[in-house]
Chain A
Amino acid sequence: MAHTEWRDAPELPDFSLLKRLARDQLIFLLEQLPGKKDLFIDADLMSPLDRIANVTILKQHEVDKLYKVELKPIVSSSDQLCFLIRPRIQTVKWISDLVNADKVAGRFRRYKIIFTPQKFYACETVLEEQGVYGDVTTDEWNFYILPLDDDILSLELPEFFRDNFLEGDQRWVTTAGSALHLLQSVYGSFSKVYGIGRCAKMVYESWRELMEEGEQRTRQPEFAKVFLVDRDVDFVTPLCSQVVYEGLVDDLFRIKCGTVELGPDVTSSDKSIKVMLNSQDKVFSEIRNEHFSNVFGFLSQKAKNLQTAYDKRRGMDIQQMKAFVSDELKGLKQEHRLLSLHIGASESMMKKKTKQDFQELLKTEHSLLEGFEIRECITYIEEHINRQVSMIDSLRLLCLLSITENGLLSKDYRSLKAQYLQSYGIKHLLTFANLRQLGLLEEQQAGETLTVMESKVGKLVNDKTVGKLTDAFSSLAKKSNFRALSKRLALVPKSGEEYDLRVPRDMAYVFSGAYIPLSCKLIEQVLERDGWTGLEEVTRMLNGQEFAVTGGSSSSEARNKTDAQRIVLVMFLGGCTFSEISALRFLGKERGCRFVVVTTAITNSARLLEALLDNHA
């Protein structure tokens, strides 16, 4: 039966190969500086590095001491210093100062800078300007991609979002292009590429250039399709509170590089524990995509099963006991440990999240998504600000309000902003400037009283006409158009209907049935239509910049029933959330395909907004 065959998920390629490649290159680079050396590592490279090469491996290659780059004077007695850094001007400046200080002190050392994932010309210019270009050697460690899990690949570049979308600095575009090129050269070419967004387009261009330069390989492709999407195409999704287990863990405890540190209150011991969260963790892999309201029940069932498994011991004879201890006990113990951790985590989650505050917060979010009772929402947000509940959450609600409503009325905009500044200080004037630049928090322009008119007209005519009117109005004002998009793509299911979160019927379950992530919906639609045809309206509201390209290996189109043809690579430029990943996993299950997510970094509402604060200078 073809049908059942369709349903089983295709095998994913082995991404650990990427780790091995990165490790080998790093070792090669370290060996370029023979002898004992001290290694300075950029703080944000520490965790990714740990996943590639641990301290033991580094020591094997004559790394003496490890330091974190702190942009302060150093104490190192080594004659060889090696710096493993991201290509940032600041860090390079700091290294130049070190070198110059050594020169003044008449100290001779050898310096080597390893930039990862690539060198930027600006950094070399700084070296040149500071007069140390000849004193240091530089290298590139092409560590583009860190596989966080079987289906999550991360560039680990959180700054991509701010640099690219706020500062208009396009340096990282080539990095993303090279990452795709790397995937392509290791895992074969792609048959089709879709994308939306300015940055996506540039990444594709840069990737294509690399393809043209490099040799063509006619290998059986391991991915069918690639989808590139800019974060600024969909800001709503990352601004929503996450309610899927993995997303919630990220929101609450912050998952860093696939690892979460659970504090003493969770572990119910006196120390915190670091836990790797990925598909290797059997307990976690079963609950990661579940709505958190289901998790507790699931875990208690699991605990019962575990107990039964332990209970098997009773009434065993010696022989059986021996077999039990050697075969099962270790697994059970492991499961036990993980289970207790996750129970601890979900307990503290429940404590925080079932409280009324959180319920109201969710209710407000859902009202905003639905465009329902906006006044009440504004009052709620006002109170939220006035009570100084949470700096980031308030900002998040403000942005959500602005995007879903196509900007705030001048009166509201000013009063909310003023209140926010009273609560959190005037420095947030800069934050607001940034938010406005990105279109996250805006004031409605005079022309946009259209929407007011629209809602008035809307009361007079039926639903269908409203839809048409909305479209017409939104195409007039080049704005976020969330409401119109939401109607056209049916992002918000009709309210009032019961939504059984245990048996999700669509991707909306990741937001308690209130909203289907726009980004994921776009992907679904485009894959279904095999292109953008029929979505012209939508793309116009998203400011265009969509593209679809058929890859070189069109000959393989004929035999596209292979597993590989059912694997879709989705690249998020500017970060993606765990909720989106869960939604895509759900979509994959529904469609009998698998999604591999490549992202510049894992993000969530807090990270997104923190990147736009300007209090660090």
Chain B
Amino acid sequence: MAFVTANWNPLGDAFYRKIELYEMGWNLKDGLRDCLVAAAPYGGPIGEFCFITLLRKIVSEYSFWKSGVVKQLGWTVSDDLLCVQEDGTVLVYDLLGGFKRHFSMGNEVSQSQVLETKIFHSPYGTGVAILTGALRFTLATNIDDIKLRRLPEVPGLQGAPSCWAVLTQDRQSKVLVANGSHLFVLDNTACTPVTPPGLSPQASSIVHMCVSFSYKYLALLTDSGHVWMGTSNLKEKLSEVDTKIKAPPKQMAWCRRPKSQQPSAVVMWDGLLLVVGECKETIQYHLDDDSILVPELDGVRIISGTHHELLQEVPGACEEIFKIASMAPGALLLEAHKEYEKESQKADEYLREIKEQSLLSEAVRQCVEAAGHEHEPETQKTLLRAASFGKCFLSNFPPEQFVSMCRDLRVLNAVRDYTVGIPLSHTQFKQMTIQVLIDRLVYRKLYPLAIEVCRYLKTPEYQGVSRVLKYWACYKVCVCVYLFTPLKKKNYILIIFVQPYCMPSCMLVYTVVMYLKNELNRGDFFMMLRNQPVALSLYKQFCKHQEQDTLKDLFNQDDDHEELGNFYVKASYKEQRLEARIAHLQSAVDEYYKAKNEFSAKTTEDEMRLLRFQRKLEEEKGEQLVGFSLHDTMTTLLSVGLHKHAEQLYKDFRVPDKRFWWLRLKALAEKEDWEELEKFSKSKKSPIGYLPFVEVCIKHHNKYEARKYVSKVTLEQKVKAHLAVGDVEGAAEAAIERRNESEIGTVLSRCSATTDHLLVERLNRAKATVAKK
């Protein structure tokens, strides 16, 4: 607080201050050297420097990128970037670096090439003025509605003019050209020589000129180092100051604000910044870095590789309040409030002093206004608190000014944040209107912030929130279009599809897939997916849950009959009704045949037959059968005694003998129908051998029955069979007979040393003989 005036510099009657807006977040290796930089007024696209850097890269790396060298960059009123190329082609990019369109500045320009370019703003929009190699000027006042105008020739012009500028006067854009000490105004029809009144006679040439933000004033710098300032119609001289520097400057700009106390301009050389006004003195600032000047409505912004600053004449209200030893009502009110906070009775004295002059409402107004001009939120708060304090002692002070200032500042502080990067001053904000600010936020894709601002400022819905939402929706679609456009042209951005290891792009792929799904007709869409495995599998995943039928179409398109067959089989399981189920299976059969998969086709046909068979039996016998596998069906049939039917299945479906024997065996044992089992065993030679008979009997704890089959078991399985029925001796006999070491071992492990003493000995002996061999 105490140091508000610390950065003030007096010049004549006025003060100038340079405030730091924020530090630049970009990482430029060599500052702004060798850069083409463009910055727009009204705190314009500064935040988008990264883009410019990017562009610089493009410009330097591909110096004849597309068709020509970029001569000039500039921003339009709607935050698009213009790149003017050597051949007069102007490329338009949006804030994020997306190419929008291009237009040409005419044949004449492309033939004689661009020498210099200026991009300017007028009430009619953004314009481009070009000086061609043939030393003629071509001008378009509004790039959105291009009407090229070729201006008359400048008499006696041999080489490039020493300087020139674009003026807007009498609703017409004119060019002011200096050729040596001669000055000409070019309009549509004529070239008029003019003389600035009272220009110092030492000057032999005008080396630099600039027009004020409002086009009302003109400043000229001569080779003698004099700065001449006057009105732009060249009828009146305001002042002339000698800078005592004769070197040509890098840039010059007006530094004014509405209701300025004096005309002043800023001239920049390498490492030096000079503010000149009406008086002889100047203010000098040292510059560490290469910088550029951006003229604003109420000052000049200075952008360097590391800093972003605003240089302006201290606004009246601020000066009144903060000037040292100021007795202005605002200053007193601020003092009063300070004392009040300290709980000192001096507060009352100060307040009384203001009240006695009945200047309290003036004091409040001053404080509120000054708050608007301050950049530091702390200072703003202090001023507003003082204002609010003062208001307490006024009975009918209108509240609007205070309230709206609070709101405005809240919004301004939000957009001034370096992440948003719109360092607007309050004056600029008021001039620009809230509508434009919201547009700008929208251009920067800061939709949530834009909505918050609208809500906070209570902007009517149709102008505010819904408009932002509309832009947002368009943008969402646009993203897709942007991705899609090159796709359609079978261009390189297909990379996003095929990059095999680019995982985080999954979301991107999904976005594109979902968009294309609605955009293309099915056929094209599927054709496209076909070559994109990642996209395809993502889409399949989605279809599985959301659109089963699409999946079918997808297979259809690919003539993937195998998958289609599988699809129908799966579908058949979801059907409750038998007919529908069979219908699905029939489709599956057809597909399998088309896929030349006879196996699956046959199997599916079998299934259909089985289903019909099951249904028939269900109706006849009332057994629950439909949906069982062949095996389970037969098991069920056998267990309920429908042997005939089981037999029929056995024949019809070419069930292997082994399976059938196992089934019979199990079913009979289950029912403990030992008699039938014996009959069955004798019906013919068992394809599964007789060991299973032994085992199945043991399983049902019938040793007696089991023994019946032991003799029938093949030699290899004898030992197992004997052991299964618990006949250790028999097992030993068989093992010894077979002279099989491991089998003898198995039997031995089953003998207990105490009871089968003899047997163990015998086995050991046999083992020894076998081992010898």
Chain A minimum-CB-distance residue to B499: A205
Task: Determine how close the nearest CB of chain B comes to the CB of A119; give it in whole angstroms.
Answer: 10
* Known contacts A93-B545, A417-B599, A617-B573; A422 and B503 CB within 8 A of each other: no
A24 at the interface (CB under 8 A from B): no
**B538–A122 touching, CB < 8 Å:** yes
Task: Determine how close the nearest CB of chain A comes to the CB of B200; give it in whole angstroms.
Answer: 60
Chain A residues contacting B534 (CB-CB under 8 Å) are: 168, 170
> Which listed residue (A121, A206, A425) contacts B629, Cβ 8 A?
A425
Q: Which of B553-588 contact A (CB under 8 A)?
A: 562, 566, 569-570, 573-574
Q: Please, what's the 1-or-0 string for B615-646, where 1 marks a CB less than 8 Å from any CB in chain A? A: 00000000000011111100000000000000
**B603–A386 touching, CB < 8 Å:** no
In angstroms, Cα B572 to Cα A425, docked, is 13
In angstroms, Cα B501 to Cα A382, docked, is 43
Chain B minimum-CB-distance residue to A414: B599
Task: Determine how close the nearest CB of chain B comes to the CB of A139; give it in whole angstroms.
Answer: 17
Q: Please, what's the 1-or-0 string for A378-414, where 1 marks a CB less than 8 Å from any CB in chain B? A: 0000110011100000000000000000000000001
> Which listed residue (A89, A386, A429, A430) contacts B659, Cβ 8 A?
A386
**B506–A205 touching, CB < 8 Å:** no
Q: Which of B512-531 contact A (CB under 8 A)?
A: 514
In angstroms, Cα B570 to Cα A167, docked, is 16
In angstroms, Cα B603 to Cα A414, docked, is 11
> Which listed residue (B504, B562, B632, B659) contacts A419, Cβ 8 A?
B659
Q: Please, what's the 1-or-0 string for A423-447, where 1 marks a CB less than 8 Å from any CB in chain B? A: 1111101100100000000000000
**A426–B607 touching, CB < 8 Å:** yes
Q: Which of B680-712 contact A (CB under 8 A)?
A: 688
**A430–B566 touching, CB < 8 Å:** yes
Chain B minimum-CB-distance residue to A386: B659
Chain A residues contacting B31 (CB-CB under 8 Å) are: none
**A170–B506 touching, CB < 8 Å:** yes
**B662–A386 touching, CB < 8 Å:** yes
**B570–A422 touching, CB < 8 Å:** no
In angstroms, Cα B606 to Cα A177, docked, is 48
A125 at the interface (CB under 8 A from B): yes
Chain B minimum-CB-distance residue to A206: B503
Chain B residues contacting A614 (CB-CB under 8 Å) are: 570
Task: Determine how close the nearest CB of chain B comes to the CB of A502; give it in whole angstroms.
Answer: 18
Chain A residues contacting B504 (CB-CB under 8 Å) are: 174, 206, 209
Task: Determine how close the nearest CB of chain B comes to the CB of A603; give it in whole angstroms.
Answer: 22
**A433–B538 touching, CB < 8 Å:** no
B459 at the interface (CB under 8 A from A): no
> Which listed residue (B507, B510, B603, B627) contacts A429, Cβ 8 A?
B603
A90 at the interface (CB under 8 A from B): yes
Chain B residues contacting A167 (CB-CB under 8 Å) are: 537, 540-541
Chain B residues contacting A388 (CB-CB under 8 Å) are: 631
In angstroms, Cα B507 to Cα A121, docked, is 6
In angstroms, Cα B607 to Cα A205, docked, is 47
B212 at the interface (CB under 8 A from A): no
**A423–B658 touching, CB < 8 Å:** no
In angstroms, Cα B695 to Cα A356, docked, is 11
Chain A residues contacting B511 (CB-CB under 8 Å) are: 121
A421 at the interface (CB under 8 A from B): yes
**B569–A427 touching, CB < 8 Å:** yes
**B542–A617 touching, CB < 8 Å:** no
A521 at the interface (CB under 8 A from B): no
Chain B residues contacting A77 (CB-CB under 8 Å) are: none
A202 at the interface (CB under 8 A from B): yes
* Known contacts A122-B542, A425-B629, A429-B603; A382 and B658 CB within 8 A of each other: yes
**B659–A422 touching, CB < 8 Å:** yes
In angstroms, Cα B502 to Cα A206, docked, is 7
In angstroms, Cα B631 to Cα A418, docked, is 12
Residue in A126, A201, A417, A419 with the greatest tally of chain B CB atoms within 10 Å? A419
Chain B residues contacting A173 (CB-CB under 8 Å) are: 503
A171 at the interface (CB under 8 A from B): yes
In angstroms, Cα B178 to Cα A468, docked, is 90
Chain A residues contacting B193 (CB-CB under 8 Å) are: none
Chain A residues contacting B117 (CB-CB under 8 Å) are: none
B653 at the interface (CB under 8 A from A): yes
**B630–A422 touching, CB < 8 Å:** yes
In angstroms, Cα B723 to Cα A269, docked, is 33
Cβ-closest 4 pairs across A and B: A425-B629, A168-B537, A121-B507, A386-B659
A contact set with B: CB distance below 8 Å: 89-90, 93, 121-122, 125-126, 163, 167-171, 173-174, 177, 201-202, 205-206, 209, 356, 382-383, 386-388, 414, 417-419, 421-427, 429-430, 433, 614-615, 617
Given contacts A125-B514, A423-B630, A424-B631, 6 further A-B contacts (CB under 8 A): A122-B541, A206-B504, A386-B656, A422-B629, A429-B604, A615-B573
